[in-house]
Structure 1
Amino acid sequence: MDIPTLKAARSGDVNAAAGSWMSLSKECWQAVNDIHANGVDPLKANWKDRVGDAAGRKLEAQANALEAGADIMRGVAMVLDGLGAEINRAQLLLDSALGMARDYGLTVDEASGTVTAPGGAASSLDSVVQEVGAMVREALREAAQADQQAAAELAKLGAATCETDPNKALNVLQNEASQVELTMYQGGIPDGQDPRLVADWWKALPDDQRRQLMLSDPVTLANLPGIPDDVKLELRGGPGAKYDRVKMVQWALDHWNDDSVDRFDDNCTDFASEALLQGGLTPKWDSWWGWRGDDTWGRSDDPGDDWLSQRTDYSKTWAGAQNMHDFMMRHGGQEVAPDQVKPGDLVYYEEDSDQDAQDGKGVIHHTAVVTAVTPDGDIRYTQHSGDQKDVSIAGRMDGFQEQRGHQKLHFVRVNPDW
């Protein structure tokens, strides 16, 4: 990657391509739903002989192929979204470096990226030459790395165009694309070895780009030398916060598939509670009834192995999705709109149909931790029990609802009043 190539890159075209692939994915999902509603389901209900069964299986196979295609196409859109954002950020840093060079009369060789001072002023401008050179190299590194990552992932997705297994398309291909997108954002952040470079990089970004990075990778930014202290404080929850949102997210990302943290057969809400605890949220204890009180949240450090110990050493709000949601909302929590969600919030799933035999309509049955939000507003969550790390709510929702029926999502910001 050289300076002319980065200058000529058109992030807007990449973003437009991402939008087109996303539109195709949505159209495929609409076709899947239409085939089920107007073909598969009526056949099962009204044509029950061998011929009807064969016709239904044929339609279902077509729906599966379209579903797999929809999830793969969403993966393509994710990768392109990441590439477009990183091209834009690299160009902003390069523009800032070239602007500084002009201000000091420095020369930047566009082929090699070498920065030189005018004759006779070299010694007095050494530090500026080094600073501009570091910015140029960082901009080119970010762009080249994103380009390489995108090319590799798009080649993998392109090779999967004949995939007809929806499970593989969603849980392998789309999930990998989701991880690559977030890896691009993380790779577009300086490594922190030069705090001055980090400060220059951060200063070169407009406010909306800074906000996007705070949402997509709060853990890296909160621990990066050169990021302003007020930004780090905001990432952790701001002044007076009762838990550290960055530590909560970091714990969830570190333990999403760690079976050693399991305490129950179904650990989704247990995992979310533990993430809050590891983030520093103080348990709410009843001095008389301990964890058995009706208005408590927390667990014992030594729960024991038997069912009775677990029942007495954990509050009923610790591992039950409905109970935890209701408790947090009674005690200062607030439901936030999807476009206001940020890492460290919780997402609760409420059954909104009669399709699921286990949970009736109106029951909150699942909890997950929001661990990232991408620049296009795609909310990523991490969960345990059905282990998933930084996966897309929007990307997985169609498949989830196909199995369990329509869902209502509740995004909750925990704000304890105790």
Structure 2
Amino acid sequence: MSGVVTFSDLKNAHPAQWQAAAEDWLSLSKHALQAAEDIRANGSRPLQENWTDAVGREAAADLKDVADRLEAGGDVMRGITMVLDGLASSMEYAQRTLRHALDLAEAYDIDVDENGNTSTRGEGVTSEKLTHLNDVSDLIKEALRQAREADALAEPELRTLMGKTYESDPSKALDEAQTAASHTQMNILSAAIPDGSDPQVVRDWWAGLSAKEQRELMRAEPVRIANLDGIPESVKLDLRGRDGKYDRVKQVQWALDHWDDTSIDKLDNNCTNFASESLKQGGVREKPDSGWGPGWSDDSWGRDDDADSGWWDERTDYSKSWGAAENLQNFMLQNGGHEVPVSEAMPGDLIFYEQAGDNEHIEKGNTHHAAVVTAVTPDGDVKYTQHTSSRQNVSLDGRLHATEKAEGEQRVRVVRVSPSWY
């Protein structure tokens, strides 16, 4: 779909076709990445080790180039998958909104012509009829806006990605092309949500979604949904956390706003510092040191208000659980939190990488990285935000192969924080 999306276009669109295309591109991406891995394992590495003369080095270099191109192509194709997934979901939501508008029109005795124009049936126009007419008309306009914005975002991004399928640099394909595609996917999903200027449109839109679609958008765009006038308060409470321990929406909002804020980088590696700070900004209370101060005991979590950088400050201003991934993971699991499957991740959960494969610098079983889940797309792709290196709303599944290529096999653990100390 390209150009201006009409009433007829939206009514007769088949989002399942975009979803099928996304699945095809995902399959191609996986095959390309597997081929790159196979070439490195069975071609370029053995050549480097066993054929060390000039001819062998040239052959190894040629195979490395082929593997790099396949890996880069796989990451670009994964980006295409993301955009198509976002487009398919957003068009489904827009169609659902349009169908709900047409259902309301039927219930209110309102006619809708082939161009989406509305008119009342029967004699006379009462204030009630006029209200219903406006409600239906506004909902149709909202459905068309959703579809048009999604289409306008997807079309140029897909064109850009298609022009990069011959990229030869895996790092550029991953950090530039796939990251941009991930952000476009999130923008497309965001376009499926009303701007909130008319709470009645929001109420009608939300009521027209299925329970499944509501849950999908709550996981994909928790901040937008929680701050939208017209969304039921019970939904907002679900997003923020019914136990009242802390506000998961504020935590996610802070992470998204500060993903590239280097002013908080006080430690040598700030991935866990960033995750801990997101929890604090969301309202998680510190667990103070029960012993003597200064300093923090092993069973504490927090930082001093004037925490600074430096060897001494790291030991006196921060608890061990604040800035080290394994310590934070274990502390939260031992103090009310619990691990959930990646498939059940929710915004506000923490992601930890535990070393499962060989790495001369990281011991097996060691948890060495932390990040914050900031979204989960309708197709189940977990998006995370982190520091060191700074990234916002990037794909867990889309980036895992690069992490494992650099550091060895990883066990990804998702921890849901639920403080038990207050």
State the TM bucket, normalised to the shorter chain: over 0.9
For residues 18 and 305 of structure 1, what CA distance do their matches in structure 2 show?
46
Normalised TM-score (structure 1): 0.97
Aligned to 2:58: 54
Aligned to 2:369: 366
1:36 match: secondary structure = helix
Query: What is the aligned counterpart of 2:81 among 65, 77, 83?
Result: 77
Moved over 3 A (4+): none
1:366 match: secondary structure = strand
Task: Answer yes or no: is the 8 Å Cα contact 1:342–1:372 preserved in 2.
Answer: yes
CA shift for structure 1 position 369: 0.2
Query: What is the aligned counterpart of 1:134 among 135, 138, 142?
Result: 138
Does residue 105 (structure 1) correspond to residue 120 (structure 2)? The answer is: no
Aligned to 1:181: 185
Q: Could you list the runs of 5+ residues in structure 1 that have no partner in the other structure?
A: none
CA RMSD of aligned residues (A): 1.1
For residues 143 and 211 of structure 2, what CA distance do their matches in structure 1 show?
18
Does residue 255 (structure 1) correspond to residue 258 (structure 2)? The answer is: yes
The AA in structure 2 aligned to 1:7 is K
User: Superposed, which structure 2 residues align to 1:203-352 within 5 Å?
Assistant: 203-238=207-242, 240-290=243-293, 291-352=295-356
Aligned to 1:66: 70
The AA in structure 2 aligned to 1:252 is A
Aligned to 2:410: 407
* Cα distance, 1:305–1:328 mapped onto 2, change above 3 Å: closer
CA shift for structure 1 position 417: 1.1
CA shift for structure 1 position 306: 4.2
CA shift for structure 1 position 258: 0.4
Task: Answer yes or no: is the 8 Å Cα contact 1:79–1:180 preserved in 2.
Answer: yes
For residues 399 and 287 of structure 1, what CA distance do their matches in structure 2 show?
42
For residues 40 and 352 of structure 1, what CA distance do their matches in structure 2 show?
24
The AA in structure 2 aligned to 1:248 is Q
How many aligned positions are there?
415
CA shift for structure 1 position 119: 4.8
Q: Could you list the runs of 5+ residues in structure 2 that have no partner in the other structure?
A: none
Aligned to 1:385: 388
Query: What is the aligned counterpart of 1:116 among 115, 119, 128?
Result: 119
For residues 143 and 170 of structure 2, what CA distance do their matches in structure 1 show?
38
The AA in structure 1 aligned to 2:66 is Q
For residues 308 and 417 of structure 2, what CA distance do their matches in structure 1 show?
28
For residues 224 and 105 of structure 2, what CA distance do their matches in structure 1 show?
29
The AA in structure 2 aligned to 1:372 is A
More displaced stretch, 282-291 vs 199-208 = 282-291
Aligned to 1:89: 93
CA shift for structure 1 position 287: 3.8
Task: Answer yes or no: is the 8 Å Cα contact 1:109–1:115 preserved in 2.
Answer: yes
2:273 match: secondary structure = helix
For residues 316 and 181 of structure 1, what CA distance do their matches in structure 2 show?
37
Deviations 1:98-118 (A, max 9, x none): 11111222111222x221112
CA shift for structure 1 position 305: 4.9
For residues 264 and 137 of structure 1, what CA distance do their matches in structure 2 show?
50
For residues 249 and 304 of structure 1, what CA distance do their matches in structure 2 show?
24
For residues 194 and 236 of structure 2, what CA distance do their matches in structure 1 show?
16
2:287 match: secondary structure = coil
CA shift for structure 1 position 162: 2.1
Does residue 33 (structure 1) correspond to residue 48 (structure 2)? The answer is: no
State the percentage of identical aligned residues: 48
* Cα distance, 1:330–1:207 mapped onto 2, change above 3 Å: same
The AA in structure 2 aligned to 1:242 is K
Aligned to 1:166: 170
2:283 match: secondary structure = coil
CA shift for structure 1 position 87: 0.9
Deviations 1:256-307 (A, max 9, x none): 0000111112100000000000000000002433442121100000124543
For residues 347 and 402 of structure 1, what CA distance do their matches in structure 2 show?
19
Task: Answer yes or no: is the 8 Å Cα contact 1:348–1:411 preserved in 2.
Answer: yes
Task: Answer yes or no: is the 8 Å Cα contact 1:2–1:110 preserved in 2.
Answer: no
For residues 30 and 304 of structure 1, what CA distance do their matches in structure 2 show?
44
For residues 306 and 172 of structure 1, what CA distance do their matches in structure 2 show?
33
For residues 125 and 388 of structure 2, what CA distance do their matches in structure 1 show?
61
For residues 52 and 173 of structure 2, what CA distance do their matches in structure 1 show?
31
